[in-house]
Amino acid sequence: MRIIKLISILLLLQGCTLYGEFEHISSIPNGTPFNNLDETSTDIIWTGLKIEKNTWYVDGALGYETSSEFEGRNPYGRIKIGKEIKTWD
């Protein structure tokens, strides 16, 4: 029975990626792109889990905003669901 549980967990985790990333968001029409103005930009550190299967993916993450410009309080949550349309080799 333990082997079946282990195999099930391995199948579920197939295609999973644990990651950390830094993201800078800034307003293009309200200033120079990639600016660091407090009123038009923010920086967020994310850590999350991305699951991929047959070109579909689900990405969930928790983030900590470092510049205090978003409304609300830390931590922030993010979820993305998508499909890779085309990959270049």
Tokens in use for 64? 């900590």
What three-state secondary structure class fits 8?
helix
pLDDT value of residue 7: 62
Q: How many domains does the chain have?
A: 1
Note the pLDDT tens digit of each residue in 12-65: 666 778 889 988 887 777 666 667 677 777 888 999 988 888 888 889 999 998
Q: Is residue 72 part of a domain?
A: yes
pTM over 0.85: no
Q: Is residue 20 part of a domain?
A: yes
Q: Is residue 8 part of a domain?
A: no
Q: Is residue 9 part of a domain?
A: no
Q: Are 47 and 73 within 8 A, CB to CB? A: no
Q: Who wins on pLDDT, 15 or 77?
A: 77
| CB environment 58-89: b (16+ within 10 A), e (fewer) | ebebebebeeeeeeeeeeeeeeeeeeeeeeee
Q: Is residue 66 part of a domain?
A: yes
Q: Is residue 2 part of a domain?
A: no
